[in-house]
């Protein structure tokens, strides 16, 4: 706070003024005009001016309920008065004579020592009140800021718990696929065990490659879990690039064949070869498709149908859909199915829709896409999402 003027005059009650400014270059000239005008009054009137930078002391600006800068506040003697806008100098010319008349002493004599002392006490009390109010506002701001930090930290902890649960759910898919491949190899090559399978070198290579791919996927997910647990980031790490969606869908379908066959389901795919590449993170989009297919397989009864489709919806978007013939989703729950903490009543005691859907929504939204569900109870559900077309 800078003291700009403190000049004693004869027969006048001193005024205490606060000039609130900021660092905008466009206000420099106006502030100079205000200072120059006040300087012309130093020889005739008694006043005390403090210059306050709003950026350095925002709680004072809040205390005086300022909505613009520069602003000039007459703090004492009361009543307080605020001058603001682009014409503060002209407002000063209007109000200054009135301020002087209102605060003249009853006689033209120089105030006695007693009166001067009383006046000093009055000004000191006014200063103390301003300082006290400013400190209270500053403390209130600090309490509000600390409460915000506390709420953010609690939200981060809840978020980490949910993400870890979702990733643990996603780990089961590649873990199951890797286990099946390894068990198949064991049946053909484990020592001291009757060989039930005659595995060709080509099939052996495919099984090894499949197991290796799934182990890598598990490793990536564990890395994500550890990063989240350490609080390294609360945002999904999205690295978009040109992505062949057709090849990605084919890879996901291949990984689900074992589960499809185990339930004797019919798998229908409609992914045209001319679907254009998208601008997306392949590993994250794969998680979305795998999660939706996993849910579809889980809820479709034996002999039912699961479909994976894709179409070039517009010049800017590609749409992917996973459709099942399961029990469907109640109408009243369709708007909540993607909430992080929402579970369908039927899933309270088991995994199902809702555990990974919130993460799917986060992934798709991070790609500036949309995800939604259409469902008819008793007939099935269709989950759709969009991705941006890649532009070279």
Please say if the pLDDT value at position 363 is more than 80. Answer: yes
Q: Sorting pLDDT into bands at 50, 70 and 90, what band is 9?
A: very low
Please say if the pLDDT value at position 158 is more than 80. Answer: no
Range with the poorest average pLDDT among 98-102, 136-140, 270-274, 288-292: 136-140
Q: How is domain 238-388 classified at the architecture level of CATH?
A: 2-Layer Sandwich (3.30)
Q: Do 2-111 and 238-388 share a fold?
A: no
Reference 266, options 229, 300, 298, 294; nearest CA is 300
Please say if the pLDDT value at position 14 is more than 70. Answer: no
For residue 3, what is the DSSP state? E
Nearest 10 degrees: Cα torsion 151, 157, 158, 159? 100
Residue 21 near residue 53, CB atoms below 8 Å: yes
The helix (run of H) or strand (run of E) holding residue 73 is strand 71-76
Q: Sorting pLDDT into bands at 50, 70 and 90, what band is 110?
A: very low
Biggest distance spanned by C-alpha atoms of the chain: 122
pLDDT 10s digits, 40-75: 877 767 788 888 887 777 767 777 777 777 888 888
Q: Calculate the alpha carbon distances from 5 to 54, 83, 310 in Å.
A: 19, 18, 75
pLDDT 10s digits, 314-350: 788 999 999 999 999 888 888 788 876 554 444 444 4
List the domain boundaries for the chain: 2-111, 112-234, 238-388
- Determine the distance from the C-alpha atom of residue 332 to the mean position of all C-alpha atoms in its chain, rounded to a whole number: 27
Q: Please give the CATH topology (third level) of the domain spanning 2-111.
A: Glutaredoxin (3.40.30)
Q: What share of the chain is helix, strand, coil (3-state, %, to 5)?
A: 50, 20, 30
For the question of whether the overall pTM of this predicted structure is more than 0.75, the answer is no
């Amino acid at each position: 706070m800078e003291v700009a003027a403190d000049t004693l005059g004869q027969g006048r009650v001193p005024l205490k003024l606060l000039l609130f400014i900021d660092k905008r270059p466009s206000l420099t000239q106006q502030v100079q005009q205000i200072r120059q005008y006040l300087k012309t009054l130093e020889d005739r009137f008694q006043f005390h001016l403090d210059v306050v930078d709003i950026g350095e002391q925002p709680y004072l600006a809040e205390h005086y309920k300022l909505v613009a800068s520069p602003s000039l506040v007459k703090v004492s003697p009361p009543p307080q008065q605020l001058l603001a806008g682009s014409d503060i100098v002209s407002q000063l010319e209007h109000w200054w004579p009135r301020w002087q008349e209102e605060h003249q002493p009853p006689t033209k004599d120089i105030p006695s020592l007693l009166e001067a002392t009383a006046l000093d006490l009055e000004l000191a009390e006014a200063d103390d009140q301003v300082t006290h109010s400013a400190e209270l506002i500053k403390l209130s701001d600090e309490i509000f800021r600390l409460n915000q930090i506390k709420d953010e930290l609690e939200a981060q902890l809840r978020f980490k718990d949910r993400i870890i649960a979702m990733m643990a759910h996603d780990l089961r898919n590649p873990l199951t696929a890797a286990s099946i491949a390894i068990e198949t190899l064991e049946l053909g090559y484990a020592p001291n065990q009757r060989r039930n399978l005659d595995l060709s070198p080509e099939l052996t290579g495919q099984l090894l490659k499949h197991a290796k791919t799934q182990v890598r996927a598990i490793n990536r997910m564990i890395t994500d879990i550890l990063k989240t647990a350490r609080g390294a980031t609360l945002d999904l790490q999205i690295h978009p690039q040109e992505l062949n969606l057709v090849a990605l869908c084919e890879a996901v379908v291949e990984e689900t064949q074992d589960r499809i066959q185990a339930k004797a389901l019919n798998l229908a795919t409609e992914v045209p070869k001319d679907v254009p590449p998208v601008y997306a993170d392949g590993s994250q989009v794969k998680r979305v498709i795998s999660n939706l297919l996993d849910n579809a397989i889980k809820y479709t009864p034996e002999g039912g149908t699961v479909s994976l489709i894709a179409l070039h919806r517009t010049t800017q978007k590609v749409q992917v859909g996973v459709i099942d013939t399961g029990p469907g989703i109640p109408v009243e729950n369709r708007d909540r199915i993607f909430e992080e903490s929402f579970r369908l009543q039927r899933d309270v005691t088991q995994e199902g829709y809702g555990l990974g859907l919130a993460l799917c929504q986060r992934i798709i939204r991070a790609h500036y896409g949309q995800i939604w569900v259409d469902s008819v109870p008793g007939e099935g559900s269709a989950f759709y999402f969009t991705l941006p077309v890649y532009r070279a």
